[in-house]
Amino acid sequence: MKFHKEGYTSLALVLLFCFAINAIADFYDAPTYVKWFLYALSAFLFITILQFFRSPNRSIIQDAGTVLCPADGKVVVIEETEENEYFKDKRLQVSIFMSPVNVHINRSPISGIVSFFKYHPGKFLVAWHPKSSTDNERTTIVVKQENGTEVLFRQIAGALARRIVWYVKENDAVEQGAEFGFIKFGSRVDLFLPLGTQIDVKIGDKVVGGKTTIARL
């Protein structure tokens, strides 16, 4: 288990805040119960940051015929829908909701070349809201396999997630299961797959990024 690089700033801010409030309490000789409350609050904040930015070691088994889960969380949507940004046709949508207690690393569901990338500023509706996929701050990434099959996935900010991070751009080569980004503090990832794709999960399933097979192409 490692600490993810995206958490360094947050960890530094929390440590600075905890040091400041405890130093002030000591300087003004606050009552014992106040000091213990601040100690407990400091410990809670420190542990919360450590667990949120944890980066577990994962052994990825790559398979060109499968679509691996792009994030830890719970499957909240499986439906046929119209994808109007890139494909402009009907696709199978699978959405994974990431709660604040999940690992928030995003992983590429397939290997290939990034054929499309776009960042969209937007709103911060709760991640399970039906319009969050089109109205919220988000990225759209499309990866094309060697055989020409393309899979589109979106990082979607939620009510708490105010920062989306991505590590890819158009024409980059990506490997299945490799990190392509990170979303802070609760969010959602949508997958758009070709019609006829065999879906291997159901709504409500708990899934693991880079490990769970979402579908078979």
Mapped onto helix, strand or coil, the DSSP state of residue 62 is coil
Type and span of the H or E element at 19: helix 8-27
Instruction: Determine which helix (DSSP H) or strand (DSSP E) holds 20, and give its type and residue range.
Output: helix 8-27
Closest CA relative to residue 53, chosen from 1, 16, 106, 6: 6
Q: Give the tokens for residue 132.
A: 């969050």
Using a 10 angstrom Cβ sphere, with 0-12 exposed, 13-18 middle and 19 or more buried, the burial of residue 142 is buried
From the candidates 95, 108, 132, 187, which is the catalytic residue?
187
Which pair of structure tokens corresponds to residue 50?
A: 């450590």
DSSP letter at 123? B
Residue 59 falls in the annotated catalytic set: no
Distance of CA 159 to the CA centre of its chain: 14
| Burial classification of residue 43, based on how many CB atoms lie within 10 Å of its CB (0-12 exposed, 13-18 middle, 19 or more buried) | exposed
Helix (H) / strand (E) containing 14: helix 8-27
Taking alpha carbons only, the member of 187, 192, 209 closest to residue 108 is 209
Catalytic positions:
187
